[in-house]
């Protein structure tokens, strides 16, 4: 069964009910979607053997809802699904905005360079046969820090401008003006409501001539 969408079930419950799903659609489940809880649950099921790694045919998960803001558990969530699936990368419909302000781009480059220097130094130390760099300084890793500087807000992968259809690369807070039509961006829920309204209007205008004909027939 594919593309199942049962209004009240959490993605995890749906997966347990339908373990052969390849695509799971569970959007707009604000109450039932919790990446932290779901990750823990899945990891526990892995640990106790009720789920096995590389066993599920799942390929794609749609879990976006409008109230997603910062999501520090996205990476763990992604990794857990990758582990469970027979596919190496499970596609999600959300990602981090990842925006890096211009003034920080230079800092990031500097950090990359200093990381490279550190690595070269470590290699040299190893070559000289001196004491090996056994202590990996994870928390001080500049790469770790630079990742935090990037915007961690959640963006739906198919978010697009209601007015011109431009595909957004970053969240509306980081890039408040649409790159396509230069219009001021509005929050995702309002934006998608505009898309729906526009679509409805288009449908109505298509049906308009038919409605006129009907009215006309009354007077015949």
Residues contributing to the site for Zn ion (CB under 5 A): 97, 99, 151, 153, 161, 163-164, 166, 171, 174, 178, 180-181
Q: Considering beta carbons, is residue 82 or 107 the nearer one to Zn ion?
A: 107
Q: Residue 92: left if φ>0, alpha if ψ -120 to 50, beta else—which one?
A: beta
- Give the shortest CB-64-to-Zn ion separation in angstroms: 15
Nearer to Zn ion, 56 or 155 (CB): 155
Whether residue 58 contacts residue 21, with contact meaning beta carbons closer than 8 Å, is answered with yes
Rounded to the nearest 5 degrees, what angle is found at the Cα of 185, between the Cα atoms of 191 and 62? 45
| Identity of the residue, 141 or 180, whose beta carbon is nearer to Zn ion in the bound complex | 180
Name the DSSP class of 138: G
Residues 59 and 22: beta-carbon distance below 8 Å: yes
* Cβ at position 162, least distance to Zn ion in Å: 8
**Shortest spacing between CB 77 and Zn ion, in angstroms:** 19
CB of 126 to Zn ion, least distance (A): 40
Residue pair 9/32 in contact by the 8 Å Cβ criterion: yes
For residues 12 and 171, which CB has a smaller minimum distance to Zn ion in the complex? Answer: 171
Considering the complex, what minimum distance in angstroms separates the CB of residue 28 from Zn ion?
21
Record the tokens describing residue 113, joined without a space: 């360079």
8 A C-beta contact, residue 174 and residue 97: yes
Please say which residue, 52 or 173, places its beta carbon nearer to Zn ion. Answer: 173
């Amino acid at each position: 069964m594919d593309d199942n969408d049962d209004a009240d079930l959490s993605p995890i419950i749906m997966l347990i009910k339908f373990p052969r799903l390849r695509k799971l659609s569970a959007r707009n489940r604000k109450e039932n979607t919790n990446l932290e809880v779901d990750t823990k649950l899945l990891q526990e099921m892995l640990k106790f053997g009720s789920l096995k790694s590389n066993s599920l045919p799942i390929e794609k998960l749609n879990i976006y809802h409008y109230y997603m803001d910062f999501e520090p558990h996205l990476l763990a969530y992604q990794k857990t699904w990758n582990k469970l699936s027979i596919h190496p990368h499970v596609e999600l419909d959300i990602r981090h905005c990842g925006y890096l302000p211009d003034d920080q781009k230079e800092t990031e480059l500097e950090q990359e360079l200093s990381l490279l220097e550190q690595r070269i130094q470590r290699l040299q130390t190893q070559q000289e046969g001196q004491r090996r760099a056994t202590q990996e300084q994870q928390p001080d890793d500049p790469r770790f820090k630079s990742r935090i500087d990037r915007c961690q807000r959640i963006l739906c992968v198919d978010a697009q401008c209601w007015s011109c259809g431009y595909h957004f690369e970053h969240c509306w807070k980081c890039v408040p003006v649409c790159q396509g039509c230069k219009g001021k961006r509005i929050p995702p829920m309002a934006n998608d409501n505009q898309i729906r309204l526009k679509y409805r209007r288009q449908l109505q205008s298509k049906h308009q001539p038919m409605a006129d004909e009907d009215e006309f027939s009354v007077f015949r």
